[in-house]
Amino acid sequence: MIDETAEAVKTALGRFALERPAARRLLLGVSGGADSLALLLAAAALPLEVCVATVDHGLRQESAAEARFVAGICRDLGLSHRTLAWHSGDAVRGNLMGEAREARYRLLGAEAIRVGADAILVAQHADDQIETHRLARERGASGPALAGMRAWRDLEPGLVLVRPFLDLPKRALMDAVMRAGLSPVEDPTNVDLHYRRARIRAELAGAPQEVAELRSAIARAAGLRAAEDAAITAAIRRAGGEGRLRVDDAGAVVFEPAPGDEALWPRILTAAGGAPHPPQRAAVERLRDALASGGRAATLGGSRVERAGERLTIRREYGRTGPPGVEVAASGRLLFDRRFTISGAGETGAARLEPLGRLGLGGPVSRTLPVGIDRDGGVCAVHPRLGKRFPDVPTLRPRPCVAWRITADLPGGTGDRLTADPQNAANPAKAVGKDLAATYLR
């Protein structure tokens, strides 16, 4: 009999492969807790290349030893392992757990690019999903927003986050680890009632009827979200096919809205502005009303919208500080401002990528484009749009991912219909072994 955790991983990868190119190399995020150890054991048996990373947030004295514990298990399983350290310094303000979570995914994303992984697998489970639903409900969310975490979601072109255990309770994961004879790490924050998640966990511990009702509510909300995703996908395809929605090589979106396009606005504004999250619905409606009332320009969430007749141009606003800079690694691709993926920047001698406006140069469009800065502070590479201004400077190899972000997480990935340069997958589909393909398509 196949262990249910292994079956869950195979099923999750199969569902994902119906919408995106099948994963060939996986990166597992493993902390040493029962959940992530169950993931490690299940994924280790897959006929795929598997790498493992542990994020050491440095928030507890035991964290370094826990990372070494995971490294030892990986050694026994014949898997590569790397510890990723988060140096928070004085940067954390407000929600420490939220900052740590963002850092975790940022570090895992960079590691996935380094090792060439197509997918990052993490071990959130059904109990986590219930807590996420409860937290969203307490914040006033409704409808599709109560569906909780997605089983998979796009992180950047060619990289997807997969959560294979969302239908399994924590008990099943603990049992799998116990059968393997492993003693998982116990994180004290999981029972620290200072945190709302821990309090919800305690409240539901002896309430099986409420748990069942919450699972039903999540399933209903997931159905609503699936219907909403399908409607948005259809609207994007319609607008793209009619030439009313397109993206240029500088990441600007040209949009001629029509009835039925209302749900596209948050996605377009988020993608064009390089924002991490979509703006509030009420703010989007105010912006639309202002433009409909004769306004020629408006800003929201890092994007600037300019109207010329029925046509809107939405592009990145420089703002007070401009897009954040990025350290250049020796190899691999970089994500700049969530609008471009850039390969080979290190080959130009660049130590950092910065927006042109950081040098006090450029107009409304060009000042948000990336340039490479060497260790002496000189410009050593530029976005191709800036080639005429810097005729003797090599050009970067940017791949706009604005169209990709507009269609992220949607079925089918329709970003290729919005631009001449397909952006919905950085890595083309490749054949997998027959046994694995059969598992994927079951």
* 372 assigned to a ligand binding site: no
Which string of DSSP letters, residue by residue, matches 299-325?
Answer: EETTEEEEEETTEEEEEE--TTT-SPP
Q: How far apart are CA 127 and CA 139, in angstroms?
A: 19
**Rounded to the nearest 5°, which phi and psi values hold at 134?**
-60, -45
- Is residue 33 a known part of a binding site? yes
Nearest to 134 by CA among 73, 70, 76, 218: 218
Helix (H, G, I), strand (E, B) or coil at 129: helix
Instruction: Enter the tokens of residue 297.
Output: 């320009």
Residue 35 is assigned to a ligand binding site: yes
Residue 32 annotated in ligand binding: yes
End-to-end C-alpha distance for the chain, whole angstroms: 17
For residue 346, give the nearest of 8, 78, 113, 153 by alpha carbon. 113
Rounded Cα gap, residues 156 and 332, in angstroms: 14
Is 421 annotated as a binding-site member?
no
- CA 77 vs CA 40, 42, 70: distances in Å: 9, 11, 11
Q: Are strands 159-162 and 119-121 parallel, antiparallel or unpaired?
A: parallel
* Annotated binding-site members for ATP: 31-36
Summarize the annotated binding site as residue ranges.
31-36
